[in-house]
Amino acid sequence: MILSFLRQLCDTPKTPGRSIFKQASMLTLVLGLSACGGSADDGPERVITGLPWQIETFEDGSSQVFDIRLGHTTLEQAQQLLGSDTESAIIIDQQNKASMELYASHYKAGPLSGKLVLLVDITPTQMAQMIQNLEQGDYMASGARKLFPTEADWVIARQAPISGISFIPAINLDEDIIEGRFGKAPEVLKSEQLIHFFYPEKGLDIVLSEDGKELIQYIAPRHFHKLRQPILNNPGFKPQAE
């Protein structure tokens, strides 16, 4: 479920030249976030919310992260939550696959920053009609087309629920950080360049990249097969040895 706004971002090389001290400091920050707070003399412990590993699941098979409940929170509600520094559009990739996405280029997840993309659950019939109503669009650097629906179609789109979330953190992740904050993944699949850490009960897939940026993907746990099955079907991925 790598979304179109993020395809070119995921291919961005890791930032070179990061010092060992800075790496260690960032690791300490990430691993220590759940323990934020002072001594007893400092008053009540300060609880940080909205972090990427704070995922709440529900009996209906949905989940919530970043205050967005997948399958329930609408595009309009997400826009209100994220503020004006976002962009929503229909994205048609180079394989002619269309999706509606909301993109936030400077998202803050607690003290962590990154890029956030929300996938909007538009039916194929609605999507076809929206595209038909348009005459032209812009091309993105990735080669994908970016289209903006008519005002009448926006009325429909704003009531559609968010079905998926992708987050690219500004910091580089590694296996220690992933296991330290998200726990040990029940299943790990690896190729020459990528490692997928699967957490089916959370609806979570963390993609660790050898060269590009890491990607954290969220989907309702009841739909987790939509993330997992394409990777299983790819012969380039094998279970990671213990």
CA distance 68 to 147: 24
Residues 171, 115, 210, 65, CA torsion sign: positive
Mean pLDDT of the region 174-202: 96
What per-residue confidence (pLDDT) applies to 14? 54
Q: What is the pTM of this model?
A: 0.84
Q: Is residue 26 pLDDT above 60, yes or no? A: no
Q: Phi/psi of residue 183, each to 5°?
A: 90, 175
CA distance 98 to 90: 7
- Please give the angle made by the CA atoms of 19, 104 and 52, to the nearest 5 degrees: 60
Sorting pLDDT into bands at 50, 70 and 90, what band is 44?
A: low
What per-residue confidence (pLDDT) applies to 21? 36
Q: What is the pLDDT of residues 110-168, one digit of tens each?
A: 888 999 999 999 999 999 999 999 866 788 888 889 999 999 999 999 999 999 999 99
What per-residue confidence (pLDDT) applies to 35? 41
Quote the tokens at residue 98: 């269309």
Which positions ≥6 away from 188 have C-beta within 8 Å? 195, 196, 197, 198, 239, 240
Mean pLDDT of the region 82-110: 93
